[in-house]
Amino acid sequence: MSLTGSDRVFCHDCGRGFDSAAELERHVREKQIDG
């Protein structure tokens, strides 16, 4: 899944934008820990 002209990835849960898939992954993991 990629958006044309951008490699930013977005959290489908909260809509926050990240510069890389790794950033998004870390964000998702932290959300799961928080509950």
Q: Give mean pLDDT, residues 13-21.
A: 93
User: Among residues 1, 2, 24, which one has the least CA distance to residue 13?
Assistant: 24
**Confidence at residue 15, expressed as pLDDT on a 0 to 100 scale:** 94
Domain boundaries, the chain: 1-35
Beta bridge partner(s), residue 3: 6
pTM here is 0.65
pLDDT given for residue 33 in this prediction: 87
Q: How far is CA 7 from the centre of its chain?
A: 11
